[in-house]
């Protein structure tokens, strides 16, 4: 069974289940509420995310979060309970981290054999039979390949929790000389909002409060707080696109497809349209990065196999089990 998981610094996402914060609490005794039991410990989701780490393989927390994501995805799909689920797991990394970490990140999810755990009082037995790791910006481009093939020049921008990844596409093919990660994700925006809110308005805004304002929910905060959050969000987008221009990517004269961290900057076209340097042709992506990972791994979209010659070859030659002989791993 193919299940793509997006291991964001802020959120964990799969195709069919609701995103959840990349936060985890561990205990030796059973806690109140939904929990996962694995290896003699109990784990519950937390609204306090794990502090940013470039390498997510330092401990088991992101593996535990992956087990929760798989269990939630199985439930969302309405899969009948059986003795063993065999999982093919496509995952992604920012382009800047991909070369150094892809092999290690892939191995992190393998070599554990059959994994048994309890989640929400239901027993699961899974075997992660294979893992394929892809650069996130490439996976994002896969969701729009049918459109990008007709664009002379297009820039895909994946704005996540800690990094903003970008990729230049020319007639549907990746220009690897213009593909990188900027450490300019929405977590940095949130930290700036919290600092300014405290200094200027004497408000203690946590990330949940910022989420609520950015996603247009009703809050108890005064209009001045809403204005500050929206002002800083707009400055964040302006600065990001200005940084891209410094890297010879002028979005005024090419198509742009900005992916925002799921659930954060709702209606990204609003922020994009207000940029100090307007984008020539903003494009709204039609699905999430975790969906893109699933598609990139060999699933179909619109009845057509989404396999792209624009994806690069790799250096360490492990066959990509999801894509008919291609390989997955470190880009060349």
Confidence label for 308 from pLDDT (cuts 50, 70 and 90): very low
Cβ within 8 Å of residue 273, ≥6 positions away = 279, 282
Same domain, yes or no: 173 and 224 = yes
Q: What percent of the chain has pLDDT over 90?
A: 38
Specify the higher pLDDT residue, 303 or 54.
54
Confidence label for 289 from pLDDT (cuts 50, 70 and 90): low
Same domain, yes or no: 178 and 86 = no
Same domain, yes or no: 27 and 4 = yes
pLDDT tens digits, one per residue of 251-267: 777 776 665 544 455 55
Same domain, yes or no: 94 and 128 = yes
Q: What would the two tokens of residue 20 be?
A: 């959840």
Same domain, yes or no: 249 and 309 = no
* Interatomic CA distance for residues 47 and 45, integer angstroms: 7
The mean pLDDT value for 269-283 works out to 57
**Residue 172 sits in a domain of what CATH number?**
3.30.420.40
Same domain, yes or no: 219 and 310 = no
Q: 21, 9 in Cβ contact below 8 A?
A: no
The mean pLDDT value for 280-284 works out to 52
The mean pLDDT value for 70-98 works out to 88
Total of domains in the chain: 2
Same domain, yes or no: 171 and 298 = no
Least confident piece of the model among 97-106, 108-117, 160-169: 160-169
Note the pLDDT of residue 260: 54
The mean pLDDT value for 126-144 works out to 83
Domain boundaries, position 320: 1-143+287-332
Same domain, yes or no: 299 and 260 = no
Q: What percent of the chain has pLDDT over 70?
A: 76
Same domain, yes or no: 208 and 72 = no
């Amino acid at each position: 069974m193919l299940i793509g998981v997006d291991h964001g610094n802020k959120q964990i996402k799969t195709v069919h289940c609701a995103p959840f914060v990349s936060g985890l609490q561990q205990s030796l005794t059973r806690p109140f509420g939904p929990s996962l039991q694995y290896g003699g410990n109990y784990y519950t989701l937390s609204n306090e995310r794990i502090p940013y780490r470039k390498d997510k393989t330092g401990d088991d927390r992101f593996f535990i979060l992956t087990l929760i994501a798989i269990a939630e995805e199985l439930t969302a799909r309405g899969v009948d309970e059986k003795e063993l689920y065999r999982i093919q797991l496509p995952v992604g990394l920012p382009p800047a981290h991909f070369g150094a970490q892809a092999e290690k990140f892939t191995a992190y999810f393998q070599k554990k054999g059959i994994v048994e755990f309890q989640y929400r009082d239901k027993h699961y037995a899974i075997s992660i039979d294979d893992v394929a790791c892809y650069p996130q910006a490439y996976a994002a481009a896969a969701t729009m390949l049918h459109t990008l093939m007709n664009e002379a020049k297009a820039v895909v921008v994946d704005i996540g929790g800690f990094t903003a990844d970008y990729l230049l596409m020319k007639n549907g093919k990746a220009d690897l000389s213009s593909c990188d990660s900027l450490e300019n994700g929405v977590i940095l925006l949130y930290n700036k909002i919290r600092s300014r809110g405290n200094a200027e308005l004497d408000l203690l805004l946590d990330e949940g409060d910022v989420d609520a304002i950015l996603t247009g929910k009703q809050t108890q905060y005064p209009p001045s707080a809403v204005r500050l959050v929206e002002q800083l969000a707009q400055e964040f987008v302006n600065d990001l696109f200005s940084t891209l221009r410094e890297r010879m990517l002028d979005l005024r004269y090419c198509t742009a497809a900005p992916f925002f961290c799921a659930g954060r900057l709702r209606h990204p076209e609003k922020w994009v349209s207000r940029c100090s340097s307007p984008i020539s042709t903003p494009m709204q992506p039609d699905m999430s990065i975790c969906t893109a990972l699933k598609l990139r791994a060999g699933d179909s979209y619109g009845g057509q196999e989404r396999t792209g010659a624009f994806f690069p070859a790799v250096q360490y030659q492990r066959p990509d089990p999801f894509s008919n002989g291609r390989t997955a791993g470190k880009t060349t």
